[in-house]
Amino acid sequence: MQLLESLPNQLPDAVPEQLRTALEDMVKQLEIQESNFSIRHRDYKPLELPAEVVERFGQLSLDLQKKYLSLQLRSFLYGLYYNGSLKDALALNGDSDDLTLHQNLENNTYLGIDLKFYQRLDESNTGEGYFDPDWLVLSLESDGTMAVNKGGLTLHIQPEEHLQPEAQSPAVGDEVAVLLPPNLVQNGFYMAVGNLGTYDHGHPDSEGEIVRIYFNLTPEGAVAVMGSLTQQLNQISVPFSFKVLYNPEDYNRYDSGVLYFDNNDYEAVRLVLGKVYTENQSHFKPEVPLFTKFLAPGLGLAEEPDQKFADQESFGMNRCQIVANGLLEAHHKGDDSPEARMAAILQQFSLLEIELQQCYLNAKSEDIYTPLDL
């Protein structure tokens, strides 16, 4: 009884119930086994490696072994607690194989693109393309085309189709803005790009934060929301990008869609989201990713982390790494008690000056993110 009373007392009163419940479950139920790099939870199958892989990893330096264990723990937290993508695969009565368990949990590209579903998403995207700046003109060809380069990528373009009207006669060495398509393919996602470009195009000198809003949608909902959201955001001239999973079988996670924009545009985006949500409410599932701010059932918000452990690190991986660091610190000190684990996790957030009750914000950020009016 003393344990049940002491754990909640370690957490600030304002910590959301979803996060409180998840953290208490982590510190009580998780078992870290360094000898075979496995992570265990009594209600799920273990996340573990084949014996021959464990043997090979055992020959690595202790530093590399610790780094891999940290990544393994982070992935477990991410898939089980953050977005639920591992819950079905690790269910005690479920069917799973090593391919499912050891895929990159953010980049589900091994299943390939569902071409019919991809086409439906593309047809729903109302974007017309956007002018991307800072392309260097390399050459002017005799057939009227020109070669332009940016970031190591060279394109051959038609000036009358791909350049702005006032800039269709550039000289070699000039920089021009090139019209790019309204869509990208990115790490298992179909991504729509707004007519003013991505979130950083419209505010190149902004001191605002990049904001992510996570959508927990059905596949049909992704198609419907793609249409209404791109139409309404382009109508009010907000730079944004919006991505959804391109394989319908992957929609067993709380972040099947993500909208990115500058927080200076939050109030305008919030009004649009209210309309889009009301129109498509039946397509939203109730859960939101862990650590995010609840805006409505199936809609969670977070700022782009400004203190990352790796260059290519999402918000969810960042917050799961903070928790993993705390759990491993307690483990390496030889105290895996729930109280020691919770104290170590709280210390990790404190070191980064992230308030646990508002861990969707960066350190010292102001919470300007009013939930939807429903």
H or E stretch covering 295: strand 293-296
Pairing of strands 146-150, 299-303: unpaired
Q: Does 355 have pLDDT greater than 90?
A: yes
Q: Does pLDDT of 109 surpass 50?
A: no
The pLDDT of 280-302, averaged and rounded, is 98
What are the tens digits of pLDDT across the range 310-324? Answer: 988 999 999 999 999
pLDDT of residue 175: 96
Among 135, 138, 244, 136, residue whose Cα is nearest residue 186 = 244
CA distance 216 to 209: 23
Helices within 214-265 (DSSP H only): 219-235
Shortest CA distance to 47 belongs to which of 24, 23, 73, 65? 73
For residue 108, pLDDT over 70 is answered with no
Best CA proximity match to 189, nearest among 126, 250, 234: 250
189 token code pair: 């996602």
pLDDT, one tens digit per residue, over 183-223 is 999 888 999 999 999 877 655 556 678 999 999 999 999 99
Give the DSSP H or E segment for 246. Answer: none
Q: Could you tell me which residue, 214 or 100, shows the higher pLDDT? A: 214
Q: Does the pLDDT of residue 110 top 80, yes or no?
A: no
pLDDT at 111 over 70: no
Q: Using one digit for the tens of pLDDT, what is the confidence trace for 224-262? A: 999 999 999 999 999 999 999 999 999 999 999 999 999
List phi, psi (to 5°) of 125. -70, 115
Whether the pLDDT of residue 105 is over 80: the answer is no
Q: Write phi, then psi, for 123 (nearest 5 degrees).
A: -70, -30
The position carrying tokens 């805006």 is 295
Tokens matching residue 127: 């974007």
Quote the pLDDT of residue 27: 97
Is the model's pLDDT at 293 over the cut of 50?
A: yes
Q: First CA to last CA across the chain, in angstroms?
A: 40
- Name which of 87, 123, 261, 114 is nearest 188 in CA terms: 114
> Could you give the count of Cα atoms lying within 13 Å of 103 in the half-sphere of its Cβ?
18
Mean pLDDT of 161-188: 93
> What confidence tier does 61 reach under pLDDT thresholds 50, 70, 90?
confident
Does residue 137 contact residue 176 with C-beta atoms inside 8 Å?
yes
pLDDT of res. 8: 57
* Contact by Cβ (8 Å): 76, 115: no
Between the alpha carbon of residue 258 and those of residues 122, 133, 242, 363, the distances in Å are 16, 24, 6, 22
168: tokens are 């269709």
Cβ burial, residue 64 (10 Å; 0-12/13-18/19+): exposed
Question: Cβ atoms within 10 A of the Cβ of 218, count?
Answer: 18
Mean pLDDT of 145-172: 94
- How far CA 42 is from CA of 5, 46, 47, in Å, comes to 22, 8, 12
User: Could you give the 3-state DSSP secondary structure of residue 329?
Assistant: helix
Indicate the residue type of 185.
V
Q: Where residue 269 falls among pLDDT bands split at 50, 70, 90?
A: very high
Reported pTM: 0.90
Which segments within 97-152 are labelled E, that is strand? 130-140, 146-150
Which position has the higher pLDDT, 92 or 22? 22
Residue 366's Cβ-side half-sphere holds a number of Cα atoms within 13 Å equal to 5
pLDDT (average), residues 148-167: 95
State what percent of residues in the chain have pLDDT above 90: 76
**30 has which bridge partners?**
41
Two structure tokens written together for 32: 């870290």
**How far, in Å, CA of 251 to CA of 298, rounded?**
13
The C-alpha angle 70, 350, 307, rounded to 5 degrees, equals 60
